[in-house]
Amino acid sequence: MNMYPIVLILLIIAIVLPDLFFFHKLKKRTNKIILFVLHFLPGFIFIVSFLYIRFGLENQHNYRLSADILWLMFAFAIIFIPKIMYIFFHFFNFILKKIIAKKTHFLRYVGLGVSLTIMILILYSGFDTAKDFQLRKVIIEIPDLPAQFNGYKIVQFSDFHIGNWNRKYSIMEPIIEIINSQNADMIVFTGDMVNNFANETEGWQPYFLQLKSKNGNFAILGNHDYGDYANWKTESERDINFNQTKQAIRNFGFRLLLNEHVEILRGKDKIALVGVENWGKAPLSTYGNLKKALHGIDYKEIKLLLTHDPSHWDAEVVGKENIVLTMSGHTHAAQMGYVFKNKKLSPSSWVFKQWDGLYRKGEQYLYVNRGIGFVGMPMRIGVPPEITLIELRTKKTINTLK
């Protein structure tokens, strides 16, 4: 498991500084050694754990251990993020006292309330919101859409990161129910089935095989599916794992599109579904080849594109290729944000120009799915996991179903 040195340093700072601050407060009220030990014990356990992750687990390939580590990070967030927030308000209270030249505890009380609220919010986001799979419905109206495809239903889901669910197969039950109840013409998965390892997929096949659609289930690869975030003894070992991951996705009932396309037929009409391997900006590896995937398709034919990273849309699609709809994932909407109607806020916007929902430029559309799973920590705040129903129509306007 990789942990960047700068991440380790920041984590240690986030532990040491708050603990020293509260130790200074504690020793004014007591001199009992046991209380001092209990105060520093959680931070000590976290620091030792993070050091072990960084230097002792660098080459480990146990995805179940990696999943447990996410919960360690979750526990860290519950304890230390509220502490850090309280310290900020304590500092502002100190500044306020200097300004008004009068003793006040107002901002300290506010900080205490905010810290408790954050703690509750983190707990709720991990034990409820992360599993609150929501269906979002969107209508895409496409000029010159073949008549037989008017009303065509596509169910999209993405970013399962299946190893992080740690063989909790029951999580598939609501997902299967939501997807199959849409009576979809097509199901598409837009990448990141695993975190790194093919053995993450063990035991999940019977559940994925329950996903039903009229014209088939299709998938592409995301950046995590290549195993690039793990340390491998040899390139051959990595290649074996990668090939096993691809085969597992096929065994799940998906037609895996690797820089290629398929023709979808309804009566005498047809559209092209194009799928590319992962395309990403540095430092992510780029395996996608859109030109290769488009080879042999008539330029005027209606084309739908599956590409994991939404940045690909601006880079190679908009105004460059005759692709009417692109479907992506990857961003997770940062697993944290605020979305209400047309107002959207998230740290994801600092990295991605398009990070959640539907975007349009001219007659070209991009839909970015938030994903099913999680990375970093098993939590979602304000942006629950998503399954999307996209309906194609022939009109020229766009509506969002509620």
> 329: domain CATH number?
3.60.21.10
Among the candidates 77, 108, 127, a domain finishes at: 127
Residue 3: its pLDDT value, please? 80
Helix (H, G, I), strand (E, B) or coil at 207: helix
Helix (H), strand (E) counts: the chain: 9, 15
Mean pLDDT of 91-101: 90
Among the candidates 77, 101, 127, a domain finishes at: 127
pTM of the model: 0.91
Among the candidates 88, 112, 127, a domain finishes at: 127
- What stretch of H or E contains 306? strand 303-306
Q: Same domain for 82 and 221?
A: no
Q: Same domain for 159 and 117?
A: no
Q: What's the domain range around 15? A: 5-127
Alpha carbon distance 36, 23 (integer Å): 7
pLDDT in tens, 366-394: 999 999 999 999 999 999 999 999 999 99
Residue 1: its pLDDT value, please? 65
pLDDT beyond 60 at 399: no
Q: Same domain for 79 and 207?
A: no
User: What is the residue-wise DSSP string for 236-277?
Assistant: HHHHHHHHHHHHHHHHTTEEE-SSEEEEEEETTEEEEEEE--
Max CA separation in the chain (angstroms) = 84
pLDDT in tens, 255-314: 999 999 999 999 999 999 999 999 987 666 789 999 999 999 998 899 999 999 999 999
Q: Mention every residue, 6+ apart, whose C-beta is less than 8 A from residue 127.
A: none
Q: Same domain for 29 and 97?
A: yes
Alpha carbon distance 39, 26 (integer Å): 9
**Whether residue 283 has a cis bond before it, omega within 30° of 0:** yes
Q: Same domain for 142 and 79?
A: no
pLDDT beyond 80 at 401: no
Q: Distance from CA of residue 150 to its chain's centroid?
A: 31
- 332 and 308 Cβ atoms separated by less than 8 Å: no
